[in-house]
Amino acid sequence: MDILHKKNFHLKAAVRDLVRCLPVTCILLAAATFLSTALFHFSQNVTNISIIYILAIILIARATRNYGMGILASLYSVFWVNYAYTYPFMALNFTLSGYPVTFAGMAIISCFTSSICIMLTRQSIQLKEQERKLMAAEKETMRANLLRAISHDLRTPLTAIIGSSTAYLEQEAELTSEDKRRLVNNIAEDAQWLLNMVENLLSVTRIQDDKGVSSVAKSEEPLEEVISAAVQRFKKRFSDMEIRVSMPEAFIMVPMDPILIEQVINNLLENAFFHSGNRVIDLCVRTTPSDVSVTIRDYGKGIPPELLDTLFDGAGISINRQGDSHKGAGIGLTLCKTIIGAHGGTISASNHPDGAQFTFTLPNWREY
């Protein structure tokens, strides 16, 4: 029963394929016949007509990806050239000197060309399918890493908030005013960190998925204003930090989602603040003919070389080596990679002699 079912399935599939391909084949052959008749009327040149039919066969092979249609079109073309455009006209005649060789040659060339086109088309489809599967696998890996980063980056400050609030409630009578203020300040800092994580998660909802490729709704925005908004937002939380911004004098417009790019810059600035231990951060903008790059450079200890290759895959820079609830940077960096990738850009991390730096690029910028 299974074998019979499979045969019926393949037969139905073949019939559906035939119904789909036959109209396309008929239309292209009809167009080739009309063009050949018009050309023959004016030039009487059978060679040019053969080229027209070979072109039609290639188009049929490309459009149908069906070997049967390609062979059918090849045989039709050879016989119709003999019947309509070779003396005696409107009659088959294979007795002319040299024509059997020409007939066989055209038939072989037509069938071979059709087969090659169909094979290349099918290989192209297979390659696209493999690429789609690889992208889906990469997307699934990133989703898993993102979930791991979320579980770590959210659990750590929540634990700290619970610990500080419990200590405050259970030991309120014994605590000094300074101790109480320290505990409340810790709760406020961890709550702010949680708010930042929620903003990161909300940013993911702005990224649309189109056929497996992340994309965003972009409009031309002035890069200087986006950077200024990100720096001001960062300074509200860390007013004692010095951000040295270096930009070209020209007015740079970049296709982007400004909210998402601002989130990327803010994430990288916070990352530099929490991991450098220094109070100075450089933000440099450079342009090339193909893209504009933004580099955020800190002056700390740098990034361990063994983490550079997996930094944006959800691992983060460190996993609370010193017990700091703010050390988890997995979700932020993973989100940065997703956002920049959706804009068609790249993001990378590296070390310089005095610390670490992160650079992302955005394409299709314009200068005013």
Q: Which two tokens stand for residue 145?
A: 């890493």
Structural domain span for residue 37: 2-132
What would the 3-class secondary structure string for 130-188 be?
HHHHHHHHHHHHHHHHHHHHHHHHHHHHHHHHHHHHHHHHHCCCCCCHHHHHHHHHHHH
Domain boundary among 109, 132, 155: 132
Kindly report the number of other CB atoms within 10 A of residue 49's CB atom. Answer: 24
| Residue 158 Rama label (left phi>0; alpha psi -120 to 50; beta) | alpha
Are 191 and 307 in the same domain? yes
- CB 36, CB 49: distance < 8 Å: yes
Are 162 and 125 in the same domain? no
Are 120 and 239 in the same domain? no
Kindly report the number of other CB atoms within 10 A of residue 346's CB atom. Answer: 15
User: What pLDDT shows up at residue 17?
Assistant: 65
pTM of the model: 0.57
Are 16 and 63 in the same domain? yes
Are 274 and 343 in the same domain? yes
Are 88 and 156 in the same domain? no
The tens-digit pLDDT sequence of the chain (368 residues) is: 455 555 555 556 556 766 777 788 888 888 888 888 888 877 777 677 878 887 887 787 777 766 677 777 777 877 787 777 777 777 766 665 555 666 666 667 666 776 777 777 778 888 888 888 887 777 777 667 667 767 766 777 888 889 889 988 988 888 888 988 989 988 988 888 788 777 777 776 667 554 444 567 889 999 999 999 999 989 888 888 899 999 998 889 999 989 889 989 998 998 888 887 777 999 999 999 999 999 999 998 888 888 888 888 755 554 444 434 444 455 778 888 888 988 989 999 999 998 999 999 999 888 87
Q: Compute the distance between CA of residue 28 and CA of residue 165 in angstroms, rounded to an integer.
A: 77
Task: State the Cα angle at 299 between 295 and 300, rounded to 5°.
Answer: 120
- DSSP code, position 301: S
Q: Compute the distance between CA of residue 262 and CA of residue 233 in angstroms, rounded to an integer.
A: 9
